Amino acid sequence: MPLISHEIEGHDEERLAFRFSMLNDNDVVLCQISDAALDKLAGMKGTESSARVAQFLSLRQTIEQTASQLFDEKPILRGSVVKIFSKHIGRKRDEANQGQPVGSSE
């Protein structure tokens, strides 16, 4: 079952990641995407931390689809964080280029 969009926490300077949450039924699932993955998805490098919210918002649907796919692929423990890294962005694009559905669930 796909996760549902929830809240934006913002950029975490210490972890160099953007934090957000999604819902699995009524359970909050913490998520984050690394700065490198955000930049790769946007096709740019070295985005200023002050511009991360706008960058996230412009790519939110794709980011949340990726988080939902990762959540469905591997069960996580309550309180764990779904983490999106650059390698997940590359894999997603490769699957899309092969004509396979991305993020589909049964």
Please state the domain extents for the chain.
4-87
Q: What is the pTM of this model?
A: 0.81
Residue 18's CB is within 10 A of a number of other CB atoms, namely: 25
- Per DSSP, 102 falls in state S
| Strand-pair category, 17-24 with 27-34 | antiparallel
User: How far apart are alpha carbons 40 and 61 in whole angstroms?
Assistant: 15
In order along the chain (106 residues), what is the average pLDDT of each group of 10 residues?
92 95 94 96 88 95 95 85 93 45 39
Give CA–CA dist 2/87, Å, rounded.
Answer: 21
Residue 32: its H or E element: strand 27-34
CATH architecture classification, 4-87:
2-Layer Sandwich (3.30)
Question: What per-residue confidence (pLDDT) applies to 91?
Answer: 59
- pLDDT for the residue 74: 84
